[in-house]
Copies of this chain bind each other. A is one copy, B any other.
């Protein structure tokens, strides 16, 4: 299993416009991660324009972190318009198992044919109808425990599912790729999961198939995190360094450091 050899070069030459309907906590973080890696982010959520805007974009990211009813309506409208226009989109079902509202919203969105779903293990288990209550937005399950749930979810929904944690797994229901990059400091910075999802959106926008886009995104984030951890002594410096590392990362460094099997 290898990363598309010119994934970053393609992303940077296309500089895809990535439309995000995401949560308040990470809007700035994921916009900056998208800019760092070479995409052009826009955050547009109003029901008046979300469906119109997505047709201008090369990919859509839908993230339910700080969900409310009117935002959910815009997400559904934008996902529908994205499908109609052939714009690939990725779903991040944040804290899917935590409340009735989230279980319902994430199940409805997952049925709207996302090209990919990126989530932690508890969220995938919740989406699959198993336990997966998690601890707020954090996982209480290992990605190993969610691997089979991810596979059957991918098969049932006809999508690619990426479960991230200490080791990430990406599956389209038959193939499974594992990415063993990253650093524990990623768990001490808010929104790194959301950033992973946004980067999947960036590689989708660059024209990569969903499976390849997910692997490239998770490997890029993981390798960048390793570079950032070498140069920092806490989560503040780590986050700054992560953006710098995403900006400086190239396909050669990615190929040399990625541990994808």
Contacts and interface: CB of A to CB of B under 8 A. Distances in A.
B40 A66 contact: no
Interface of A: 17, 19, 23-29, 31-32, 35-36, 40-49, 52-53, 56-57, 65-70, 95, 98-102, 133, 135-138, 187-191, 232-237, 239-245, 247-248
Contact of A98 (B24, B31, B56, B240): B56
A49 B137 CA distance: 14
19 contacts: A24-B27, A25-B31, A25-B43, A26-B28, A31-B190, A32-B190, A41-B136, A42-B98, A42-B136, A43-B66, A44-B98, A49-B100, A49-B102, A52-B99, A53-B136, A68-B70, A236-B241, A236-B242, A237-B240
A68 B45 contact: yes
- Number of identical monomers bound together in the oligomeric complex: 3
A133 to B, nearest CB: 8
A101 B240 contact: no
Q: Is the interface of A mostly helix, strand, loop or mixed?
A: mixed
Contacts of A136: 17, 19, 40-42, 44, 53, 56-57
A248 B234 contact: yes
A28 B194 CA distance: 12
Given A189-B35, A240-B237, A42 B100 contact: no
A43 B28 contact: no
A187 B240 CA distance: 17
